[in-house]
Every structure is written in C-alpha cells, then in structure tokens.
Amino acid sequence: MSDGLGLTADLTDQVALVTGASQGLGRAVAVALAANGARVACVARNQEKLNETVKLIEEAGGQGAAFALNVTDGKAVDKLIDDLVEDWGRLDILVNNAGITRDTLLPRMSDEEWDDVINTNLRGAFLFTRAASRHMMRARYGRIINMSSVSGLIGNPGQTNYSASKAGLIGMTRSLSRELAGRKVTINAVAPGFIESEMTKALGDSILDQVKKNIPAKRLGHPDDVAACVLFLASKAASYVTGHCLTVDGGMTG
C-alpha cells in the first residue's frame, strides 16, 4: 500500500490511534499510518466523517476503525483505550490531533470560548496521553505525537485561547518526555504553519495571498507535509528523538 508521501516506515502489526481523524490533518495522518502497515483507530465526534476516513483507509488496502467520542470525557477516553488494547492486543502509536478554534480578541472572548478550546486541544491530549502511557510503559514501547502549531510558538492575534492550548502541548511534551524516556516511550510535538484546509480556505483569497508572501517557501503546506513528519516520529527510526517540537511551516518562523 502506498501513501504517496515519499517516506515509508515499517509499522506492520502496530496499532495506532489518531484523534481528530475525521478530516484535514488528522485524516491525512491516519491514512499515512495505515498505508505503512498500522491498524488505525480513528477518533472524533462525527461518526459520519470518521466512516469516510476509514473508507479511504480500506480502499487503499489498510485497516482502520471509527470510534465516535468526546475527547474531553475522561471516563470515555479511559474505556476506549483499555478496550482497544484488550481487543487489538496493543497500542503503539498515539497522535493527539483533535483541536478546535474559537477566534476572537481577548476582551471579547467569553469563558466558554476559552474553556472549549483549552478543554478540547489540551485537556483532550492530556486524557489520551495519560491513558495510553500506562499501557505503553508496561509494554516498554510507544510513540506519542502531539499536534501543536506555530501559533503556540509565536502567537496570533485573536487566538489567545488557541495559542495557549498549543503552547501547553509543547510544555506537556517536553515535561513528559523526561518521565517516559526510561520506558522506551517517546513523545514529540509537531507544529504546522499554514496548511491547506477548510480552516485556511475560510480566510479568503486576499488574506491567503498575503500569508503566502510572508512564508519563505511561498506556498501553503499540504496535509501530507505534516503527515510525513508524524510518520517519521512514529517510526522505530525516531527512537532517540523525544521532547522535540518539529516545526513544519515553510520557514515562516525562521
């Protein structure tokens, strides 16, 4: 099975779980992992869109299953992880990709707009990482990848909540890498810049044209650009890489 990324990794017989797998980056990552041999649990809230991701995986010859879930529900997360390990025998790779935006300037930001973003983007990753790390530590093997953002590195007007959540993921990654390294479990973050997606399309052509002028590569990234980086960090080849934040932004942050 080919993923079309130009990068391959032997993930045969491994089990991966990707949150936010119903569209965009999460879908691209799930397909890439399956393309390289992993059996992929696709998690998000929208069952219909998750089914579309699984269909893409299966049409290409891979294995996947859809699990509709609220990623902020701790009990549901624990049960899903425990059931997955019992049914599938293991959990080798976790990609915390689920994320939302509620953009507005801080003086206008409601409590709900702050809480919704922090809970989904940061608490959700915490819950999945906590549950998955227990099994990975016992197995003495694991790969955890947190989807951060350049907004978590340099900030972005109108995205104080989003930037805080993404910066929090980097801090969590670096701290937890020190806890898990001795058990052969790595944890890294990926910080995409402007990537082609429904979210970036909503900005409009005029804004996107200006954005491209500020990117040294003079283009938006493609979801496969990010998926290739996740694939490397999920592979056995990345066994000595942990606590790192890999920026994928066409040189925007320098």
Domain ranges within the chain, ordered by starting residue: 15-246
Judge whether 141 counts as a catalytic residue. no
Q: Match 């890498």 to its residue by tokens.
A: 177
Q: Is the pTM of this model over 0.85?
A: yes
167 has a pLDDT exceeding 80: yes
pLDDT of residue 1: 40
pLDDT of residue 3: 46
2 has a pLDDT exceeding 70: no
Lowest mean pLDDT among 196-200, 216-220, 247-251: 196-200
Ramachandran category for residue 219: left, alpha or beta (phi over 0 → left; psi -120 to 50 → alpha): beta
Cα(227)–Cα(238) distance, rounded to whole angstroms? 15
Please tell me whether residue 186 adopts helix, strand or coil conformation: strand
pLDDT of residue 147: 98
190-211: average pLDDT: 86
208-220: average pLDDT: 92
213-236: average pLDDT: 95
12 has a pLDDT exceeding 60: yes
Cα(38)–Cα(144) distance, rounded to whole angstroms? 14
199 has a pLDDT exceeding 90: no
Arithmetic mean of pLDDT over the chain: 95
212-239: average pLDDT: 95
165 has a pLDDT exceeding 70: yes
Q: By C-alpha distance, which of 61, 68, 6, 69 is closest to 31? A: 61
243 has a pLDDT exceeding 60: yes
Q: In sequence order, which residues have a C-beta less than 8 Å from that of residue 216 and are 6 or more positions away? A: 250, 251, 252
Q: In sequence order, which residues have a C-beta less than 8 Å from that of residue 245 and are 6 or more positions away? A: 148, 153, 170, 173, 174, 188, 189, 190, 191
Cα(121)–Cα(170) distance, rounded to whole angstroms? 12
One-letter identity of residue 190 = V
137-166: average pLDDT: 97
pLDDT per position as a tens digit, 87-113: 999 999 999 999 999 999 999 999 999
pLDDT of residue 5: 67
Catalytic residue of the set 67, 162, 194, 232: 162
More confident residue, 108 or 208: 108
Structurally, at CATH architecture level, domain 15-246 sits in: 3-Layer(aba) Sandwich (3.40)
73-77: average pLDDT: 98
